[in-house]
Structure 1
Amino acid sequence: MPSHDPMYPLFPTFAFLGFVVSLIPLPWHIQAWNSGTCAFMLWTAISCLTGFVNSIVWSGNLRNPAPVWCDISSKIIIGVSVGIPAAILCISRRLYYLTSGTTVSITHEDKRRMVIIDLCIAVGIPVIIMTLHYIVQGHRFDILEDIGCYPVVYNTLPAYFLYLMWPVVLGAISFVFSVFVALTLRSFWIRRLQFNQLITSNSSMSVSRYLRLVLLAIIDMMCTVPLGVYTIWIGNQGIGLAPWISWEDTHFNFSRVALVPALIWRSDRSFTISVELTRWLPVLCAFLFFALFGFASEAQRCYKIAFWRVMGVFGVKPAPATPSKAGLKTLSLG
């Protein structure tokens, strides 16, 4: 059947590109021990890849050819909704301690401790929420035509404490850190020499990278909480809050898989907005991150190294720079 998705093939194209561009800056952020940014890239990449696969496989159909994949991908959607705000919290927290003058990642032990804390936040919390989601998971999963596998959340009061509130809570905590960073940054900018000395004292940070991370945190500060609240509100339009009766009642006929035609789910405007936000926001995050970090000086150096490594396979290598041609490179065949 032809796809009813007005975003096809636009969405799978951008989702795949988002998967690629979100991973491009990963190597040098791993090298710099920037665990928060690494978590951000990995969560967005996983989400983009999942969205790409789902939008291709379930374009114009309602089959259930891979139930195990749906079990995994529907949980990934839950994890990503918490993982990206958690990763931003790690970034904001790192910037806060750096800006406040607290010693961060100076010794190897400091770096290791910071990475462990970041992993507990950016990976541990989402995994816990993915596990707790099972408590309010009314049935196995839904399959939405043109969208693919989609998680189920039984709209009852415990769902808000176990899952729905966490993107907003993490965003609010990140907001507090980001506000402090922004205010402190202003005073440091007035005393630029002190600011430069503070940043460059950290071997994994530069002034340029610091400012780009601050910008990322501020954008998140402006978006995460409002979007989180809006998503909860729009996703519950016309759906009453069901009482929690028992575990058996919530999980009755749990193995059921609901197959929802596009004509049905797209007729609900609120649900359509919620679904589109869920799949497009990680793609936008991927391109935002690449726009901030994919063209930086360290990125350009890595691109240049990768380019010459590839060219070296074909026997092409850069000629050594000469004093008379400083800064210029020519090709030589070897």
Structure 2
Amino acid sequence: MVTVFTGVLIFGNTVPFYSLYSAKQLPGATMIAVLIIVLCLNFINAIIWSNNHIASWWNGHILCDIEVSIKQVLSTMVASSTACMTGNLAKAVDVENNPMMFESSAMRRRRIVFELIFIFGIPFIQLCTHYVVQSGRYAIVAVYGCTDVIDRSWPTLVIFIWPLVFSIINCYYAVLVIIRLQRHRGNLSTTLSSSGSSFTARRFMKLFVLCLLFFTLQLPATAMFFFFNLNNSLPMHSYSWSQVHDPKLWPYIMYFTSEQVPTQQYYGWPVVIMGLTSFAFYGCNVEATERYRLLLVKCGVGRIWPAVLAPRERRRRRGSGNESRASWTSHLDVIGKTVKYFDNKRKHSHASTEEHENV
């Protein structure tokens, strides 16, 4: 069931990625792209090592060699891209320091370079230095799949602490956004326009609530994983290259059942919850539904499910009770209610126009 659910989320997050990529939101698009990659790894691992029969397991050569090198990098990239996105939102409501700062081509290039360094800089360093603390080729855990074998020395802390650091940075930016929203409450659209931001009120609030939800999951999860691994690494010893990369021990692959490592199989759940959240925010509107339909048609699903071939207008004519459905779904529009709270001077026509924005 978990494997099927993960596969659905992989497909479901393609539209959120497309929406953020089309809106030229590099941090947001990177955030969703990394989630999709991690979900794919979880999906593959759960299929390959789905039981506790170690004797029948594949040894994971090449696949696990790649996975253990990038798993920590991907974890850091999720945190860094989320922090970068929240930082951009904090800047968008900073009218005092950025009055009418409309972005020129040179400013846009500098912003993109900064975002690239912020998001990919530390993960690239982690990728290059992972081998320094890798004391074994890898281990395999039931369901979770490939996992690191890491040395218990201080360089491990320096390399692995960064998801927690970026989560704390994200917390700082989130607090800034909340303070500035309260300061400009009732004038969100005017504030965004005055700062030269390209965000509409609804687009801004949707991204902020998404980043806020990611942060509330990331900070406790990264802190728990970090301190749990730290506790397991104690007492630490001094670092020795020859000891860490002992050629006699390096080829040895360890195998663990879910009973032997009961907590490891839950390490993949935070990214599943994040994938579900992004899908709920960007994959459940009318435009997203149409994009899913077109994607299914291109994949040939229409031969099996002819209803997919019907365009949106025809499905609307066939549907019934749309008005009643719109009435009760409007009560569930959390983003719309949040925008109204911070931007209560907007006209109703603007709210209805932004109702169907993709981003």
Tell me the TM-score range normalised by the shorter chain. 0.7 to 0.9
- How far apart are the structure 2 equivalents of 1:175 and 1:230? 16
Match of 1:54 in 2: 45
- Larger CA deviation: 295-304 vs 13-22: 295-304
Match of 1:257 in 2: 252
| Structure 1 spans left out of the alignment, 5+ residues | 1-9, 267-271, 321-327
The one-letter code of the counterpart of 1:16 is G
Normalising by the residue count of structure 1, what TM-score does the alignment of the two structures yield? 0.79
Map Cα deviations across residues 181-203 of structure 1 (whole Å, 9 max, x no partner): 1110122223345236348x544
User: 2:145 matched to 1:185?
Assistant: no
The one-letter code of the counterpart of 1:46 is I
Match of 1:288 in 2: 277
Map Cα deviations across residues 37-90 of structure 1 (whole Å, 9 max, x no partner): 111111110000001111111222443444111111122321122111011011
Match of 2:238 in 1: 244
The one-letter code of the counterpart of 1:174 is N
Shift of 1:226: 2.5
Structural mapping, 1:98-177, within 5 Å: 98-101=92-95, 102=98, 106-163=103-160, 165-177=161-173
- How far apart are the structure 1 equivalents of 2:20 and 2:136? 39
The question of whether the paired residues in 2 share the 8 Å contact of 1:97 and 1:104 is answered with: no
- How far apart are the structure 2 equivalents of 1:303 and 1:231? 35
Query: Per the alignment, do residues 196 and 71 of structure 1 end up closer, same or farther by CA in structure 2, a change over 3 Å counting?
Result: same
The question of whether the paired residues in 2 share the 8 Å contact of 1:157 and 1:244 is answered with: yes
Query: Per the alignment, do residues 57 and 36 of structure 1 end up closer, same or farther by CA in structure 2, a change over 3 Å counting?
Result: same
- How far apart are the structure 2 equivalents of 1:59 and 1:24? 29
The question of whether the paired residues in 1 share the 8 Å contact of 2:16 and 2:282 is answered with: yes
Map Cα deviations across residues 148-191 of structure 1 (whole Å, 9 max, x no partner): 2112222212211122x111111111111111011101222233
User: Equivalent residue of 1:190, what SS?
Assistant: coil
- How far apart are the structure 2 equivalents of 1:307 and 1:202? 35
The one-letter code of the counterpart of 1:124 is G
How many residues align? The count is 306
Structural mapping, 1:10-25, within 5 Å: 10-25=1-16
User: Equivalent residue of 2:184, what SS?
Assistant: helix
Structural mapping, 1:175-324, within 5 Å: 175-192=171-188, 194-195=190-191, 197-198=193-194, 202-203=197-198, 205-253=199-247, 255-262=250-257, 265-266=260-261, 272-273=262-263, 275-296=264-285, 299=288, 302=291
| Structure 2 spans left out of the alignment, 5+ residues | 319-359
Query: Per the alignment, do residues 263 and 31 of structure 1 end up closer, same or farther by CA in structure 2, a change over 3 Å counting?
Result: closer
User: Equivalent residue of 1:153, what SS?
Assistant: coil
Query: Per the alignment, do residues 73 and 185 of structure 1 end up closer, same or farther by CA in structure 2, a change over 3 Å counting?
Result: same
Map Cα deviations across residues 73-124 of structure 1 (whole Å, 9 max, x no partner): 1223211221110110111111111111336773444434333322222233
- How far apart are the structure 2 equivalents of 1:113 and 1:228? 30
Map Cα deviations across residues 254-292 of structure 1 (whole Å, 9 max, x no partner): 5323332316623xxxxx32x234211111111111112
The one-letter code of the counterpart of 2:119 is A
Map Cα deviations across residues 124-164 of structure 1 (whole Å, 9 max, x no partner): 3212212222111111111123332112222212211122x
Normalising by the residue count of structure 2, what TM-score does the alignment of the two structures yield? 0.74
Identity percentage of aligned residues: 19
Match of 1:269 in 2: none
The question of whether the paired residues in 1 share the 8 Å contact of 2:133 and 2:244 is answered with: yes
The question of whether the paired residues in 2 share the 8 Å contact of 1:79 and 1:129 is answered with: yes
Task: Give the counterpart of 2:65 among 51, 62, 71.
Answer: 71
Shift of 1:304: 7.5
The question of whether the paired residues in 1 share the 8 Å contact of 2:92 and 2:192 is answered with: no
- Larger CA deviation: 110-119 vs 91-100: 110-119
The one-letter code of the counterpart of 2:257 is A
Task: Give the counterpart of 1:37 among 28, 31, 54.
Answer: 28
Match of 1:324 in 2: none
Shift of 1:206: 2.2
Task: Give the counterpart of 1:87 among 70, 76, 81.
Answer: 81
The one-letter code of the counterpart of 2:212 is I
The question of whether the paired residues in 1 share the 8 Å contact of 2:133 and 2:151 is answered with: yes
Shift of 1:207: 1.4
User: Equivalent residue of 2:224, what SS?
Assistant: helix
